[in-house]
A and B are shown apart, each in its own frame.
Chain A
Amino acid sequence: MTDTTRPPASGWADEANRSNIGLKRRHARSRRLQGFGIGAIALAILMLGTLLWTMVSTGYSAFVQTHLSVEVTLSPEEIDAQSPGDANYRDIMQRAWLSSFDNVTEENEGDLLSMLSRGAELQLRNLVIDDPSLIGQTIQMEVPAADDLDQVEKGFVSRATPEEYRIVNDRQIEIFYELKQDGRVSTPFNTALFTEADSRFPELAGLKGALIGSFFALLVCFVLSFPIGIAAAIYLEEFAPKNRWTDLIEVNINNLAAVPSIVFGLLGLAVFIGFLGFPRSIPLVGGMVLALMTLPTIIISTRAALKAVPPSVREAALGVGASKLQTVLHHVLPLALPGIMTGTIIGMAQALGETAPLLLIGMNAFITAAPDSMMSPSTALPTQIYIWADSPERGFTARTSAAIMVLLGFMIIMNGIAIYLRKRLETRW
């Protein structure tokens, strides 16, 4: 009651000076909340960084492949120009390879031959079939090295490991370093990763089959789920009466979006393969199963986009005598399109990464030829990753990560398109 009773002329300043009103505690509380928020985001960034780092650091080596250079003589006696496909290319390749060494003995022949990939003879065969005029010439070829040697080149094989625990023996490593000194080893970009289908041999395995399979499956998924989803959403949002039945349908659609995808796989297995008799492992069935899974996503996002269109636009159209359908098609749908597109692309990206339902319909089979139609068996990107992750060869470890990078690359591209479309088509009011 001494100097605290000042005149109330500057009431707010007075109050700010008093410390006993819990102001400090309130500020501290908001600072604490901000701190938690920043901490959570930092943790998320750290996790993401770790994920990307492990993926890139294990996967980067799969983007190059060790090649060995071989001089091959294509003699007309061995290869018939009329039917170049019938020659014994394994023999030609093996002899060409061995002829580049001086001291080939019975003993080390096996070591030398296992340094070459089995893909070398196929590469030679394709080369000659494509261009029969090569017969009679001596050509220089870069052929893939066997995976074991590839791992030596990439530094994953330590000579400190006792020889009996390694697949490559000391002699092979020595020969490899000699070849390297002679400049006969090169490490170009691993085009096989994109131009070849799956293979037992890591150095020959590629994603072509999986990419085409995924493309076909997504195409089927889009063609089915986009029109059906939009039609269902338009009906439910614009035309359906609001009663207990439509409420029930709405609840069920929301629930379907949360159903584990493997259940859709079981449904596809039972209905499409079991009941309708489609073959297994084909992208058509894969796409249909993914469509089942994507439909709720598209319906929900389309309904949200339709709801977001201001009612004044509907009133304006109805006011000049447009019918309900004209109102929707001419005015509401175009305005909702950016939202619909975004939802659809996100649904598609989800479908691209979906593995479980594809496993159930057999798209994880070992298939060494890329599919030429929707009806031929194939794998998809995520199932190919699954297969490779399951394979014991060292080369597949890196290829698994590389395939994940490719998959994530496609995801980023699709999401980028979604963002672009949203920005581009957005109507400003």
Chain B
Amino acid sequence: MILLNRWRRLTASLALLWMLHPVTGAEHPNESLEFLYIDANTGGSSGGHTAVKLDDTVYHFQNDEGYTRLARENWQRFRLVYNDVDNRNIHGAKIALLSEDLQRIRDRLGLRFMAQNRQVDYLTALQRDVSFLSALESHAPVQIVGIGFFDRRAHQTSDFKDIDDAIEIDHGPGFIRSERLRLQRRLETLAYVPPAKPARLEPDRYPIYDPTFSEQLEDSYAHWFALTAIDQGWPLRDGLLIEAGPLDPTDTATHSSHPNRGWLTRYRDQLREAIIRTLVSPYPGSGSPLLLSLARYQAISLSLSTGKFLVLDVLPNQSERGRGELSEADKVPLRRLISQLQKTVHGLLAEGFRQPEPDESVYHRLEVAASELKESQAGLSQERAIQLGQSDGPPKGIGYAVIPNHAMSTPQLPRARAVAAQKAQQFLEQMQTAYQYQLITHNCVTELVRAVNSSFEQGNETRALGGHLDPGAEQSFVPFRFFELVRQRYRVTGTETLPSQRNRRLTQLNHEESDWKVWAREGNTLTSTIYRPRLGDSAFLMFTEHAFWTRPLLGTLNFGYALATTSAGLLTAPTDQASLLKEGLFGMLFSIPELGLWNIRKGTFNDMSPD
């Protein structure tokens, strides 16, 4: 009842706030964005977390190796991680604003995300310079994306013959061989030149960087490899193709008029055009996409000749990566996934390729769904755990090669490596300076406020959002305090809470059984049917999320339980890599706030809720 009254008062206050924050002029806000506050829990973001949701896209700042990094995620994925797996309630406050103001925020966050991603890519490339130079020193192979698609056996396929012919006709006989020679010479003679120190990092401007030493070598090698694959007719590696189904799903016989066949033929034509253009006019970074196009080109040619819809496996060699056994409990969602994936594959084969214009994203969806289906079925039959998260992106074709580079002498290589390491370190420090992470002044909340405010000229955010917040002021560096200020200051039109996975399941049980029975069984970790203790959750006995006045008492029980676990952990430390000891120590740590009426720990899940 008290809560209900508070809720009514809050709603009335919100209505009043709305009236007090009129938008100037005749325009009325017709769009909305949502500030999110994610409850605390053990693990990452134990102080709670903050994000902003624009339609289906969520932006939030994270601490990544000492600097704040802007992350952009699909809402479904964000909710899966924070609401289902991490078991945190997500609270949202919707703010009404004009569509042009929403677009300003979207553009600012989008540009900032791209600019920082490019800077992070550059840092990675500088770090790869070091590993490439080390590899050259020891004549060791380096990883190159795309070369793993092909088997270096000559004259095994004639699928590239039309590409070869088209290039020879347009650019003269011998073009491919002369290009191969040119690239070979470049690979042999490219010396490391230290890059100039980049200018000050600007968060809102897309940076321009010259290709690094490793990027130039990788790109040249990929182009050389592609030309050689065409010239010598290299086939795809064995086991790389998956049969998604018949090319004509209604009849296994090949029909030259079936939409799938027509679509694939047009897509292959598009790929051929892109391959030829990239070979003739390469641009920095085009090597790996070129090899992917060649691999898909061959997969489509085989599909058309065999009448089977063959796609590249985006999850190759998964069985070689030991991931432990599949538990009985995990078989249930896995069977559910297999059934859903089968429907997806069949649906795509039946309906997905009806559009007249080929679309890479549709083709890629089939690659992903067919690969995930194959991997899920293998996991179930072999009773091994599977990992599907890596299927996020086109097939990679990772391969290794020794680069035949002789540009630097034996004494020059270690010197070049030292300089490269220094350059990478310098740039990392630049990143840490530009995007410094500090607990109070530069964290996930303060940076979000700064980014949103920077979308507007001075003072205009007050007009756009209905109010103004200074980053970190009034203790707003704490996520829940920030959310409270959002509700007080901005033009909030509604609030909503998405209960965590455990809370959703508790609500369901409360409909089926009496409250006290559910509390007695589900309130502790020993008899709970919803929750199973997981490594990283810390050792605890009683859930304290819903208790308030009894929280110190339950916290004392948790502290005692964690203390006992710690003692046991001391004994088992030599045999279990101190994991029980860590659980016990963290259990004690997260019990301390409970003694002071505060709850952080809620338990986490590793499976999906039934709903």
**Do A and B belong to a common assembly?**
no
Q: Chain A: residues with CB nearer than 8 A to chain B?
A: none
Q: Chain B: residues with CB nearer than 8 A to chain A?
A: none
